[in-house]
Amino acid sequence: MGALVHHPRYHQELNPQPQILVLDAGGQYCHLIARKVRDLGVYAEVRPSETPAAELSSARGIIISGGPSSVYDSASPTVDPAIFARGQAVLGICYGQQLMAHLLGGNVQKGEKGEFGLATLDLAATTDALFAGLGGRQQVWMSHRDLVVGLPEGFSAVGRTETCPVAAITAPLRRLYGVQFHPEVVHTTHGKELLRNFVYGVSRCERDWDARHRAPAIEQEIRECAAGRNVFFFVSGGVDSAVAFTLSTRALGEGRVRGVYVDTGLMREGETDFVRRMAGISIECAQQQFLNALAGVTDPEQKRHIIGEEFVRFQQRVIESRVLRDEHWILGQGTIYPDTIESGGSAKAAVIKTHHNRVAGIQKLIEAGRILEPLKSFYKDEVREVGRELGLPSELLDRHPFPGPGLAIRCLCSNFDAPLRRTPEGWVIPVHSVGVQGDSRSYAPVLGIEGLDHEHATELINRLSDVNRVIGLVAGHVPLAEMQVRASSLEPARLARLRAADAAVRRLSHEAGFDRRVWQFPVVLIPVGTAKSPDSVVLRPIDSADGMTAQSVPMEPALLDRITRELLTHQGVAALFYDLTHKPPATIEWE
């Protein structure tokens, strides 16, 4: 995935020179930084971290992103040290702070425990322009294990958290700054103000950018990419593919765009009926093809690859059945930016999980120039704004995100039987889930605890290195001590069990208005239970703006009680759990 700057829709009538350059050290939020700067009215571009200082000289400010590496490893990303001696404003974020300290003579080492998710920053009173108006205690978002433990000459430490003694550093006379936390994510309370201070107060930028009214520019890009060819879309009924399909139809005309919804047998209850009401979409049934291909598969990455490749095979058959010659069609997708980032789409980004629209077959089509992805540099909230600009109904735009692989990645499997392991902190459940810790992928067991204490769960996940997710037991037919993991796969009975649980949770949440308080609400089935009731259900309500970070959202006791009483009547369900983990360290979806 190239930098955002290569997409013509970001350039208005007079192409502005980037006043802020973001150096990509492989962080999951690297491009989010550039977007947040543009949101402030200043044009920003992303460049590789090793870009020579001379090529960055026109920028008024430079931001070094976070990343999954450790600065003391010889192969880790670096920057040209000359950027620190040219008088330009430089801000290092997370790995960027560590790299700045390391290159200027400070000391960075691995901490005794990580710090993932919400933390409280104590910011000293300072006259530094970066922190103007921001002193005192405040909420920030962390994702790190390494720490700056020794400052370079001329720097001062002005911020700390309980886990991180050096959470903000400054050398104002040299216009060099670093923060261990992530100001670019919405969960850092004053992050926008800090970035505004850097852009306008420290870097002295001038307003030159307005990102509103993007649809016409995207449509022009679609026409250029299609270059006279027809576009074939697989639509899911979700926001991303619907917006991408609508943009393409407006740009090219209905005669050149065809949309197909594939019922894979992995859809939620009522999903296919919802899509039937969408104009211009035909329905194709392929349940047996997908379920046969997934039979016996337990590994989440393998699931995602299989689903992606089956989509490519099915697409080829559908294309051929419509007698479209190869050179006259390209594949359209509703890919958005978090999909490419988590799939390792940035030069140094770690692969968190391979999305079905980034598997090998799709990559071949990308390399052949036969893919149209008009939203691939957008985040979910931006996609919704484009949809509103297009006049799409709120019934569609306000739907919770639903993953392309469908229920397959919410129905966890195991290839072995195993007991739960008792520890002083709780029960280690040998069902693995995907996480993102320090911008790297983790795949680790889950910790089950009694009760629903979010703060205690955050403390546990920061302290323990062998788990990446904490779930609280809401209620069950038997105690945790009597449960075990059971060998299981994507059997039709388990998918039906998950589909019924998901439908019940969605119905009750909607009746209570809770679905309007959360950004997404995955319902997950895990193979934990008894011989009579082999599965348990996990609730995963989260709040987010863009999918890159997320907070676990508590539920009102009355609603949770209604959900619990209903789900525990479902055949085969042993217990109900609540996912208490933020992103990071856990991804939104379990797989």
CB 4 within 8 A of CB 43: no
Two tokens at 506?
A: 């969605």
Q: pLDDT class for 278, splitting at 50, 70, 90?
A: confident
Q: Give the tokens for residue 114.
A: 């990580």
Confidence bin at 2 (pLDDT 50/70/90): very low
Q: Looking at residues 389-403, what average pLDDT do you find?
A: 89
Place of tokens 């919405």: 186
* Average pLDDT value for the chain: 89
411 catalytic? Reply is no
Taking residues 295-307, what's their average pLDDT?
Answer: 91
pLDDT single digits (tens) 6-26: 333 333 433 478 999 999 998
Helix axes 239-252, 380-390, angle to 10 degrees: 40
To 10 degrees, the CA torsion angle through 402, 405, 410, 414? Answer: -170
Query: Cβ(544)–Cβ(437) under 8 Å?
Result: no
Q: DSSP class of residue 202?
A: I
* pLDDT one-digit tens code per residue, 39-67: 899 988 889 999 999 999 999 999 999 99
Task: Name which of 23-37, 93-107, 480-494 the model is least confident about.
Answer: 23-37
Q: Which of the residues 30, 45, 94, 305 is marked catalytic? A: 94
* C-alpha to C-alpha distances, 73 to 27, 76, 104, 109, 121, nearest whole angstrom: 16, 5, 16, 11, 28
> Would you call the peptide bond into 403 cis, given omega within 30 degrees of 0 as the criterion?
no
Which tens digit of pLDDT belongs to each residue from 478-490?
999 999 999 999 9
At 534, give phi and psi (nearest 5°). -80, -10
Displacement of CA 268 from its chain's centroid (Å) = 21
- Our answer to whether residue 182 is catalytic in this structure is yes
A 10 A CB-CB count for 493 gives: 12
The single residue of 184, 219, 385, 591 carrying the catalytic annotation is 184
Distance CA 257, CA 232 (A): 6
Q: Provide the pLDDT confidence category of residue 144 given band limits of 50, 70 and 90.
A: very high
For Cα atoms 39, 40, 44, give the angle at the middle one, nearest 5 degrees.
75
Query: In the chain, what are the domains?
Result: 4-202 (3.40.50.880), 215-404 (3.40.50.620), 410-579 (3.30.300.10)
Position 429 scores a pLDDT of 97
Q: Cα dihedral angle (498, 500, 506, 507), rounded to 10 degrees?
A: -170
- Residue 528: closest CA among 540, 536, 538: 536
pLDDT digits (tens, 9 = 90+) for 69-95: 999 998 999 999 999 999 999 999 999
Regarding predicted confidence, which is higher, 456 or 233?
456
CB crowding 426-446: b at 16 or more within 10 Å, else e: bbbbbbbbbbbbbbbbbebbb
4 pLDDT higher than 70 = no
Contact partners, residue 289, CB within 8 Å, separation at least 6: 310, 313, 314
**Residue owning tokens 């402030």:** 40
Instruction: Name the range with the highest mean pLDDT among 39-43, 295-299, 534-538.
Output: 534-538
> Residue 360: is its pLDDT beyond 80?
no
**Known catalytic residue: 31?**
no
The pLDDT, as a whole number, for residue 78 is 96
Q: How far apart are CA 214 and CA 336, in angstroms?
A: 15
Residue 117 backbone class (left: φ over 0; alpha: ψ -120 to 50; beta: rest) = left
H or E element that contains 107: strand 107-123
The Cα angle at residue 200 between residues 170 and 92, in degrees rounded to 5: 35
> Which tens digits make up the pLDDT trace of 258-271?
898 999 999 999 99
In which band, very low, low, confident or very high, does the pLDDT at 211 lie, cut at 50, 70 and 90? low
List the single range of 25-39, 119-133, 330-344, 478-492 with lowest mean pLDDT.
330-344
Predicted local confidence at residue 106, as pLDDT: 97
Q: How confident is the model at residue 3 (pLDDT cuts 50, 70, 90)?
A: very low
Can you tell me which residue has the tokens 């003694």? 165
- pLDDT surpasses 50 at 100: yes
Active site residue: 31, 102, 182, 356, which one? 182
Query: In one letter, which amino acid is 144?
Result: H
What are the φ/ψ torsions at residue 390 (nearest 5 degrees)? Answer: -80, -10
pTM metric for this prediction: 0.69
pLDDT tens sequence across 541-558: 999 877 778 899 999 999
**CB-based burial of residue 206 (10 Å sphere; 0-12 exposed, 13-18 middle, 19+ buried)?**
exposed
pLDDT digits (tens, 9 = 90+) for 214-241: 899 899 999 999 999 999 888 888 899 9
